[in-house]
C-alpha cells in the first residue's frame, strides 16, 4: 500500500505526464512535462512542457519562465522572490547538456536551489541525444535532493520518444 506522500508523488508525476502529452512530437526532442510544487501545501506554482514557449524550450525552462513572468522578474531574478521551498516534478531527468547551446535544465535548477529543494523524476534521461546524464549527481552535489517516482517508466518513455524515428 502506498503512503499518502507516495500517492501525492504519483499524482504529481501523473500531472506532469499529462502535460508532456501536450508537447509536439519531434525527432529531435523528448516530450517532457514538469510542475513546480510548493512543499508546505502542495500548491502548483508553475507547470510547463517541452516546446510550450517559443525558442526550443524544455519543460523545466517553461516552468521557470512562466513563474518569472508571473512575478514580474527574470528567470535569474526568481531566487530573490521565491521564499517557499518547492519540489520540481519532471517526467524525464533534467538535462545536463543542450545541443542547442542553451542553458541546461540542471544548471537552471541549481541556480534556484535556494528554493527548489527536491527534484522528482519519472525516468532517467535516455542516452539518445547526449549520452549518459550526470545530472542527478550534479544536483545532489549542489544540495538538491533527487528522487525517483516509480511506476510511470513505460508510459513516460512512449510519450517522450513520440516523433522519433527508429
Residues taking part in catalysis: 60
- DSSP letter assigned to residue 123: E
Residue 92 · residue 125 · CB < 8 Å: yes
Estimate the crossing angle of helix 153-160 against helix 4-20, to 10 degrees.
Answer: 20
Give CA–CA dist 93/121, Å, rounded.
5
Helix (H, G, I), strand (E, B) or coil at 148: strand
Residue 70 · residue 107 · CB < 8 Å: no
Give CA–CA dist 48/58, Å, rounded.
8
Amino acid at each position: 500500500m502506498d503512503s499518502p506522500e507516495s500517492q501525492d508523488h504519483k499524482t504529481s508525476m501523473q500531472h506532469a505526464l499529462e502535460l508532456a502529452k501536450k508537447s509536439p512530437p519531434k525527432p529531435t526532442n523528448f516530450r517532457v512535462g514538469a510542475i513546480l510544487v510548493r512543499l508546505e501545501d502542495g500548491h502548483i506554482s508553475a507547470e510547463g512542457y517541452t516546446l510550450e514557449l517559443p525558442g526550443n524550450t524544455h519543460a523545466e525552462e517553461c516552468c521557470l519562465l512562466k513563474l518569472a513572468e508571473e512575478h514580474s522578474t527574470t528567470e535569474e531574478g526568481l531566487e530573490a522572490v521565491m521564499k517557499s521551498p518547492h519540489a520540481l516534478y519532471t517526467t524525464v531527468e533534467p538535462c545536463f547538456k543542450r545541443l542547442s547551446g542553451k542553458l541546461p535544465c540542471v544548471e537552471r535548477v541549481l541556480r534556484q536551489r535556494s528554493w527548489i529543494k527536491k527534484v522528482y523524476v519519472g525516468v532517467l534521461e535516455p542516452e539518445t541525444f547526449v549520452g549518459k546524464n550526470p545530472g542527478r549527481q550534479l544536483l545532489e552535489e549542489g544540495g538538491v535532493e533527487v528522487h525517483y517516482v516509480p511506476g510511470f517508466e513505460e508510459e513516460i518513455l512512449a510519450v517522450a520518444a513520440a516523433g522519433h524515428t527508429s
